[in-house]
Amino acid sequence: MSGLLDLLNSDIGKQMISGLSNQTGQSESKTANVLSMGLPVLMGAMKKNASSNDGAQGLMSALSNKHDGSILNNLGGLFQNGVDDTVLSDGAGILNHVLGGKQSQVEQTIGAKSGVDSGSVSEILKVAAPILMGVLGQQKRANNVSDSNGISSLLGSMLGGQPQENQSLIMSLIDSDGDGSVLDDVADIVLGSGKKKGGLGSLIGGFFGK
């Protein structure tokens, strides 16, 4: 199972970075930085949501139907003439479901850390979310995942693909302050701001050799 950083360094990841760079007018380096911070945040939030039976079943249903991996069949076409509004709308729905009222805070924090305006961060995440769901759908099918334990393991495997230093940070994202909300800790832990030291933001350069 490839982790998120492996994903970004794969052909799919390179197509995402190039396509989103063209879509938003941001450099590939900055686009990669946004994805490197944003995808673990989304995955960590999904894992938190999937810890409940209802959340796991909802995710399983989405991955079996709408997000079965077919979006990955023609990423070049997806970006060729600008991303279709239906994809952006789908991505907006995913972000709203996963991030809820914290979406704006997450986008602004990632923007501040990456030097990208929050509007471009939002657009990048709206396109990346359906692609990430497609990757999960593809992996679900390949690994014959059929229950809530399996989907939780799948998400954990993707997060577990982080380097050891990042893995501890991502795992601590899962409600580190015990208040029941994974997203209250996003800025502090994943992005390396506030009361927690370190974070993915400080490690991005090494991922892409920038």
Nearest alpha carbon to residue 125 among 14, 3, 41:
41
Stretch 47-72: mean pLDDT, rounded? 87
Q: What is the mean pLDDT of the chain?
A: 77
pLDDT of residue 6 exceeding 90, the answer is: no
Determine the residue type at 104.
S
- Write the pLDDT tens digit of every residue in 84-109: 899 999 999 999 988 888 888 888 88
Residue with tokens 């990042």: 166
DSSP assignment letter at 3: -
Rounded Cα–Cα distance for residues 108 and 185 (Å): 14
Written as one letter, the residue type at 187 is A
Distances in Å between the Cα of 197 and the Cα atoms of 111, 112, 178 are 18, 16, 19
Question: Tokens 């809530």 identify what position?
Answer: 148
pLDDT number for residue 160:
63
Contact between 105 and 16 under an 8 Å Cβ cutoff? The reply is: no
pLDDT digits (tens, 9 = 90+) for 152-200: 888 888 876 544 444 444 444 444 444 444 444 444 444 444 444 344 4
d(CA 196, CA 187): 9
Whole-model pTM? 0.78
